[in-house]
Amino acid sequence: MLKNYFKIAWRNLLKNKAYSAINIGGLALGMAVTIIIALWVIDELTFNNYFKNHDQIALVFQSQTLNGNTDTGPWIPRPLEMAIREGHMDNFRHIVMSSWNNSQYLKYKETSISRTGSFMQEAAPQMLNLKILKGEKAGLREINSIMLSASTANALFGSEDPIGKVVEVNSEYDMMVSGIYEDIPFNNSFNDLEFIAPWKHYITTSEWIKNSFDNWDNNSFQLFVQIADNISMERVTATIKNIKKDISANSEEFNPQLFLFPMNDWHLRSNFANGKQVGGRIRYVWLFGIIGAFVLLLACINFMNLSTARSEKRAKEVGIRKSIGSQRSQLVYQFLSESFLVVGLAFVFAIIFVLISLGGFNDLARKEIVFPWTSTLFWASSILFIVFTALLAGSYPAAYLSSFKPVEVLKGTFRAGRFAAVPRKILVVLQFTVSVAFIIGTVIVMQQIRYTKNRPVGYDKNGLIQIPTMSQDFEGKYELMRNEFLDSDAIVEMSSASSPTTQIWSNYSGYTWEGKPEGFQEDFAWTQVSYEYARSLNLKIVAGRDFSKEFASDSNAVLINQTAVKYMGLINPVGLYLKDSNIEDPGEPRQIIGVVEDMIAQSPYDPVKQGVYAFDNEGASSYYILRLNPKKSVSENLKLIENVFIEHFPDIPFQYDFVDEQYAEKFQSEERIASLASVFTGLAILISCLGLFGLTSFVAEQRTKEIGVRKVLGATVYNVWKMLSKDFVVLVVLSCVIAVPITHYFMTSWLEGYEYRVDLSWWVFALAIICSVLVTLLTVSFQAIKAAKANPIRSLRME
């Protein structure tokens, strides 16, 4: 019986090749999109699963409240470690203090490379369950030991055995390689942990770290933990929540709260607003999940519509089968097995599409997804997926077709009736509602990105590079290097700063000024800069003056930005002093000598933060900022700069970033989403149009006789075209009417997530409507005109 069903289904497919191609092709496309999205979603959801203990690992987070604003992040003070070790260790298996993941120079013999890594406590390899390839897992025991990832070791030592070799770190310390661990795969938070050095060593490297030993106010460290078995994160959080608050002197002011932030949330739910976890990337996972489901739905709708549209052709078959003894259930089985055949074929094509496009998708989405050939889970869910799709797509045609009464269909009087097309029309409206919504959504996302990209940054980011200078080697060499670079004629100006131009690394409080309101808890973005900072960035001074070597007092001067003027409630800030509010041991007061234009250093979607550019009088430089000579080509300039650099720092690899590229990176996440969304939108529209194309051809075929009669009576091609197109255009316009308010609602709430945002403009909606109507007309016209041009004599003779 089943064989017979498939035989019929197969012959049917072969007989109507165009129909089958549209049906299977459309479905395959829809499935391919769904599979790719599913792979992406799984990749996102299994982030960090490389670590066996991922359910138990967490970072200790701290929330502090300032002026009613709560800031949350993984920054904690050093004495917390001892507080936990002494009082709470039964709740933990491991606790691991760690530095931030920074790039350092590693040198062995003549090979010098830059790699990112952290200084961590001994338990790190056990906690992360790193796979040791050579050496020992307890490789951080000795103060001068270092563990390398396999690829770092390979870059440094090539084929030599790395164990026991001595690596020079930042041209300061010699460290002996004690272990090599397998590279941590791409979709993991520790992906860029390319070496691990002992924490013991880190705490001896500089004065401020040594001094932080018992300082509860220096939140410059990270603490990773693995909790004990049989206890939940929440319960552990409850025990450590107030450790700092109970000890620290400033707790009244800041209300510090500690809590565990589970590794499972790091990637997808890492946004905090006012101390509350508010999601994060998970919303993109949802977004794409929904898109995938919709695209599949569109493809299934095609299948349903095309099947039922062909019902008149198959009505006779149903009648005959019933009259020779088929029961309704047997017909349902027959149509479902046809559906299974089509879906099965579509799945095979879908897999082929996926294999072809996975590489491109990975580039677009910045992923390293491989096709899960060997995953039983994948194949099991694929089978489920096929069954589900076949049932979804096949159930309606099966129910509809099998309900025909044999007497009616066999008498030849069967006409699908005026209302038979209603469900079909509803489905078309649903399809185009989704498509129009996708178009509008994508256009608005792109508008928002472009709008933000065009936002004035406040300085000239083109032709600007920055060189990291965090290593000790650079200490005291700023003036020398500036002169050398200027002499080489590769640059026209240079400055140094404690943060990169596109970021803010420090925030300061603890200052008062004349007219500061009572109880105002100030908080400034704080960047320490050299004399030439504003000049090198082409940052405009809007009041007062720039730093100048002519004023000796400028070593204690600051510039503030326009937002800071408003923030501090000042009208004429120039000349005022920022005074240290620490009464016992006050620092020098800082005079405000000028106001600079606001420049975007953080998120381009947020307002600029109140900022202070303080003259760097303690050698806090982390970057050189170089304004390239515009009269020479960029490559020429870079060559000259590199030569000078190598001459003075032969042991340090020459590294630099273009500021405009760094700035552009801020848009990457949104841009990636936008480009993915536009690809999926395109496919959704294509699938909908395929369906429409198929439907039109059936309608045209169905109405062949009518068209023939009309033509004999004098209808022109235009009349017929109008008649056939009108029905569909009405449906699409109706879809737009439904889609517009829905997308308006959702896009408004999406845009509310951005402080700096584009206004929704009516023309986007108008454009989407016009586009969809045009696309519909194009799709429909092909068939409509073909039908209209056919010779009426032939179509009438057929009857």
Q: What is the DSSP string of 11-22?
A: HHHHHSHHHHHH
Backbone angles phi, psi at 717, to 5 degrees: -55, -40
For residues 310 to 329, the per-residue mask of contacts with another protein, x marking binding by CB under 8 A and - elsewhere, is ------xx-xxxxxxxxxx-
Nearest to 223 by CA among 208, 204, 236: 236
Interaction of residue 1 with another protein, rule CB under 8 A: yes
Least Å distance, CB 319 to another protein, is: 7
Helices (H) and strands (E) counted in the chain, each on its own, are: 27, 26
Interaction of residue 668 with another protein, rule CB under 8 A: no
For residues 257 to 296, the per-residue mask of contacts with another protein, x marking binding by CB under 8 A and - elsewhere, is ----------------------------------------
Least Å distance, CB 320 to another protein, is: 5
Rounded CA separation 291/435 (Å)? 10
For residue 776, give Cα distances in angstroms to 632, 701, 702, 755.
Answer: 53, 18, 20, 37
Nearer to another protein, 327 or 503 (CB): 327
Nearer to another protein, 19 or 353 (CB): 19
Greatest distance between any 2 Cα atoms in the chain:
108
Rounded CA separation 720/88 (Å)? 83
List 15, 418, 549, 631, residue binding another protein (CB under 8 A): 15
Nearer to another protein, 4 or 274 (CB): 4
Least Å distance, CB 409 to another protein, is: 10
Left (φ > 0), alpha (ψ -120 to 50) or beta: where does 715 sit? beta
Nearer to another protein, 410 or 492 (CB): 410
Least Å distance, CB 330 to another protein, is: 6
Interaction of residue 751 with another protein, rule CB under 8 A: no
Nearer to another protein, 277 or 326 (CB): 326
Q: What is the DSSP string of 713-768?
A: TT--HHHHHHHHHHHHHHHHHHHHHHHHHHHHHHHHHHHTT-SS-PPP-HHHHHHH
Least Å distance, CB 394 to another protein, is: 19
Nearer to another protein, 8 or 231 (CB): 8
List 12, 305, 433, 536, residue binding another protein (CB under 8 A): 12
Nearer to another protein, 12 or 447 (CB): 12
List 11, 141, 235, 794, residue binding another protein (CB under 8 A): 11
Nearer to another protein, 319 or 604 (CB): 319
Query: CB–CB of 468/104 below 8 Å?
Result: no
The contacts of residue 191 (CB under 8 Å, 6+ apart) are 184, 185
Structure tokens at 303: 């299948």
Taking the alpha carbons of 292, 297, 298, 303 in that order, is the dihedral positive or negative? positive
Backbone angles phi, psi at 307, to 5 degrees: -65, -45
Using CB under 8 A, count the residues that bind another protein.
26
Nearer to another protein, 321 or 424 (CB): 321
Rounded CA separation 57/51 (Å)? 9
List 330, 395, 512, 678, residue binding another protein (CB under 8 A): 330
Least Å distance, CB 798 to another protein, is: 15
For residue 694, give Cα distances in angstroms to 296, 398, 779.
Answer: 17, 19, 9
Least Å distance, CB 423 to another protein, is: 24
Least Å distance, CB 411 to another protein, is: 8
Nearer to another protein, 94 or 322 (CB): 322
For residues 399 to 418, the per-residue mask of contacts with another protein, x marking binding by CB under 8 A and - elsewhere, is ------xxx--xxx------
Nearer to another protein, 412 or 630 (CB): 412
- Exposed e or buried b for every residue in 623-639, given b needs 16+ CB within 10 A? bbbbbbbeeeeeeebbe
Least Å distance, CB 338 to another protein, is: 12
CA atoms within 13 A on the CB side of 242: 3
Least Å distance, CB 283 to another protein, is: 50
Rounded CA separation 307/691 (Å)? 11
Where do contacts with another protein occur on this chain (CB under 8 A)?
Answer: 1, 4, 7-8, 11-12, 15, 316-317, 319-328, 330, 405-407, 410-412
